[in-house]
Amino acid sequence: MALVGKKAPSFKASAVINGEEIVEDFSLDQYLGKKHVVFFFYPKDFTFVCPTELHAFQEKLAEFESRGCAVVGCSTDTEQSHWGWLQLDKKQGGIKGVTYPIVADTTKVISLNFDTLFGDYDVNDNGDIIATGPMIAFRGLFLIDKEGTVRHQLINDLPLGRNVDEALRMVDALQYFETKGEVCPANWSKGKDGLKDTHAGVADYLTKH
């Protein structure tokens, strides 16, 4: 399911913020009208590839924040699992030092609505998820603008780690388009020129949707 061009699914869930504090009713709605958001899913706490990604996002966090962009992670583990992993040093396979929010999608509904849920399950007529085997999230990433609209999405299979620099480049590209009204060609990066819209109304249409 492509979410690009659509409103990001709304949710409220428990999360760990600032690397130590568990909060209830965390929502991306808090960023509406204020910040762009990179919202990413990862499969599982206490694994091998996942901590490399979470640390990579932390290493670039200041760059995202300097662009007015929040970074939020999410997996189907519990908030207690997130908290425990956050207390473990990097040398021990932990993610101590990560400060951006990590959402606990324990009901799997967030992953389902973002179409990143992997595993064995059915959905009944009431929309309830009926597990028939383990369920975790693919490596999904969504760039959401200040209006709450998804402008970019990427979903990798479980073994394939993401490039955080590419996520940052997409933030730059979106913000360049929003401020300049020019589109970004292949391999565009911050500091390069964009292309003026040669199709009347396209930039205006994209800005409004």
Average of per-residue pLDDT values in the chain: 91
Checking if the pLDDT of 200 tops 70, the result is no
d(CA 91, CA 101): 21
In this predicted structure, what is the pLDDT of residue 184? 79
Q: 106 pLDDT band (50/70/90 cuts)?
A: very high
Q: What are the structural domains, with CATH classification, of the chain? A: 13-162 (3.40.30.10)
Q: What contacts 46, CB < 8 A, 6 or more positions away?
A: 81, 85, 93
Quote the pTM value. 0.88
Q: Catalogue the active-site residues.
A: 50
Q: What average pLDDT does this structure show over 158-171?
A: 96
In this predicted structure, what is the pLDDT of residue 124? 83
Tokens of 65: 């924040």
The residue assigned the tokens 């500091």 is: 191
| Least confident window among 14-28, 63-77, 151-165, 181-195 | 181-195
The residue assigned the tokens 């383990």 is: 134
Share of the chain above pLDDT 90, in %: 77
Q: What average pLDDT does this structure show over 35-60?
A: 97
* Strand ranges of the sheet holding 102-104, from the earlier edge strand across to the other edge: 21-26, 13-17, 102-104, 69-75, 36-41, 139-144, 150-156
Which secondary structure element, helix H or strand E, spans residue 107, and what is its range?
Answer: none
